[in-house]
């Protein structure tokens, strides 16, 4: 496959690159090193710029007002958007907008009016409630939260953990077991309003991300009507699985962007820094680290664009999505680690973004499915579906 950008793709890439370097990076110099938000006036100003660029909400389907940009181009742009301090988890601080949760596009007309359109207008924020204390990588079996039929609706009991943004959301997409005898075929997806009696955020869960946190949720006799079922009863696993598979491609792209930025910093530093009478770049030990960075970045980029291209063509890409997430998250971590090593003591300070990327990249080997799960998915493809 040829992944050289077309002239139109290169034009968009250049636009985003200029935006990151002239608008985002200068603002970051004035922010706390762990900041994940811009001042409201800066955010509003930059949103107007991305709208003028025609790139606001690039992952929103065209029928809902998004620009008609294919997934390969979106992947190339995601690589550019992440090349700044907060870019791994907050690319361009959200100034390019986004669809929020892809599952909500499967809503019926009534749900679209109540949830999808307000979300696209920025009036409502959702959360994605899948992972539970019993596990998150095997949702077919790990989901213990139950929803029982009662009073022309459903009563939900259970808990979720590592849920981002639930304490600031107006509603959530929550997965619960509705038929214990059917395994992955017994899970249903519900839309739960944040003010529904019986639902509450139990506690905040702090992680390696200093400026952000996850939450633990509790559902206790939480009743929702039939109108809150998203999709089909017992059809929730397909909804969750499709989202997780597609999300692995932009997830990998962000790792590549950060790796590229770290590598560029390391190259420049090695040419400038002198020790024992010569530049770091003259030392074979440093040269080999830079070469290994280059290999990791090119490998991750190839596998990620391959997954995106298969998704664009509409052919199966589950194995390729697992491979690109695995390779990009692990190789991205190695690149940041080597770049930090080349910077020596400065690499550990908050003066540079390497310290933040080092912590946050570690999460990427677990988030959206740990490396071991991705390897298991690929092994199933190699050895056959009978492998458990």
Q: What is the pLDDT of residues 171-198, one digit of tens each?
A: 999 999 999 888 888 999 999 999 999 9
The residues, ordered by sequence, that sit 6+ positions from 305 with a Cβ below 8 Å of its Cβ are 1, 3, 72, 75, 76
Mean pLDDT of 2-22: 94
The answer to whether residues 326 and 375 touch, using CB atoms and an 8 Å cutoff, is yes
Whole-number pLDDT of residue 387: 53
Q: Is the pLDDT of residue 388 over 60?
A: no
Whole-number pLDDT of residue 40: 95
The answer to whether residues 378 and 323 touch, using CB atoms and an 8 Å cutoff, is yes
Q: Is the pLDDT of residue 208 over 70?
A: yes
Distance CA 282, CA 274 (A): 9
Whole-number pLDDT of residue 194: 96
The answer to whether residues 317 and 247 touch, using CB atoms and an 8 Å cutoff, is no
Distance CA 280, CA 283 (A): 5
Any bridge partners for residue 135, and if so which?
132
DSSP, collapsed to helix, strand or coil, labels residue 193 as strand
Whole-number pLDDT of residue 163: 93
Q: If pLDDT is split at 50, 70 and 90, which confidence band does 386 have? A: low
Distance CA 257, CA 86 (A): 11
Query: pTM here?
Result: 0.91
**Mean pLDDT, the chain, integer:** 92
319-372 tens-digit pLDDT: 999 999 999 999 999 999 999 999 999 999 999 999 999 999 999 999 888 999
DSSP, collapsed to helix, strand or coil, labels residue 77 as helix
**Which DSSP symbol is given to 4?**
P
66-117 tens-digit pLDDT: 888 899 999 999 999 999 999 999 999 999 987 667 778 888 999 999 999 8
Whole-number pLDDT of residue 220: 97
Distance CA 50, CA 283 (A): 43
Q: Which is nearest to 175 in space by CA: 369, 163, 151, 331? A: 163
Q: Is 309 a catalytic residue?
A: no
Which one of the listed residues 268, 274, 368, 381 is annotated catalytic? 368
Mean pLDDT of 269-275: 96
**269-283, 297-311, 374-388 — which is least confidently predicted?**
374-388
What is the secondary structure of 110-175 as a DSSP string? HHIIIIIHHHHTTS--EEEE--BTTBSS-HHHH---EEEEETTEEEEEEEEEEEETGGG-SEEEEE
**Which DSSP symbol is given to 100?**
S
Mean pLDDT of 23-43: 95
Q: Read off φ and ψ for residue 279, nearest 5 degrees.
A: -75, 150
Whole-number pLDDT of residue 384: 84
DSSP, collapsed to helix, strand or coil, labels residue 379 as helix
Distance CA 118, CA 319 (A): 34
Report H helices in the chain: 7-19, 25-28, 40-52, 71-81, 109-111, 117-120, 139-142, 236-272, 284-313, 318-343, 354-364, 371-383
Q: Which is nearest to 179 in space by CA: 140, 131, 226, 146? A: 146
- Would you state the torsion angle of the CA atoms of residues 323, 342, 89, 360, taken in this order, to the nearest 10 degrees? 80
Q: Read off φ and ψ for residue 265, nearest 5 degrees.
A: -65, -40
Whole-number pLDDT of residue 136: 65
Q: Is the pLDDT of residue 242 over 80?
A: no
134-174 tens-digit pLDDT: 776 676 678 999 999 998 899 999 999 999 999 999 999 99
């Amino acid at each position: 496959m040829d992944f050289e950008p077309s002239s139109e793709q290169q034009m968009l890439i250049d636009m985003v690159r200029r935006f990151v370097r002239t608008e985002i990076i200068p603002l970051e110099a004035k922010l706390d090193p762990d900041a994940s938000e811009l001042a409201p006036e800066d955010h509003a100003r930059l949103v107007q710029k991305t709208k003028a660029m025609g790139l606001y909400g690039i992952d929103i389907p065209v029928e809902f007002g998004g620009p008609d940009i294919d997934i390969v181009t979106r992947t190339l742009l995601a690589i550019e958007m992440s090349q700044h301090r907060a870019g791994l988890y907050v690319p361009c601080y959200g100034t390019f907008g986004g669809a929020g949760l892809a599952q909500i596009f499967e809503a019926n007309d009534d749900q679209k009016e109540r949830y999808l359109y307000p979300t696209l207008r920025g009036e409502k924020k959702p959360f994605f409630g899948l992972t539970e204390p019993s596990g998150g990588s095997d949702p077919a079996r790990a989901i213990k939260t139950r929803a029982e039929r009662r009073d022309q609706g459903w009563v939900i009991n259970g808990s979720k953990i590592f849920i981002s943004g639930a304490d600031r959301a107006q509603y959530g997409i929550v997965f619960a077991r509705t038929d214990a005898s059917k395994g992955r075929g017994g899970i249903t997806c519900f839309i739960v309003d944040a003010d529904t009696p019986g639902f509450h955020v139990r506690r905040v869960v702090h992680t390696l991300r200093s400026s952000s946190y996850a939450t633990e949720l509790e559902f206790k006799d939480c009743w929702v009507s039939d109108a809150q079922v998203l999709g089909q009863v017992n059809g929730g696993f397909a909804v969750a699985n499709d989202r997780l598979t597609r999300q692995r491609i932009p997830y990998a792209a962000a790792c590549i962007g950060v790796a590229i930025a770290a590598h560029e910093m390391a190259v420049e530093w090695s040419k400038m820094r002198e020790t024992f009478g010569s530049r770091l770049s003259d030392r074979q030990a440093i040269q080999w680290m830079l070469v290994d960075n280059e290999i990791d970045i090119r490998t991750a980029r190839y596998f990620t664009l391959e997954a995106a291209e298969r998704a664009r063509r509409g052919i199966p890409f589950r194995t390729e999505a697992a491979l690109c997430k695995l390779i990009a998250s692990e190789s991205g971590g190695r690149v940041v680690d080597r770049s930090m090593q080349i910077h020596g003591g400065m690499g550990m300070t908050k003066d540079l973004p390497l310290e933040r990327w080092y912590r946050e990249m570690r999460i990427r080997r677990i988030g959206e499915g740990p490396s071991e799960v991705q390897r298991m998915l690929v092994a199933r493809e190699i050895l056959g579906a009978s492998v458990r």
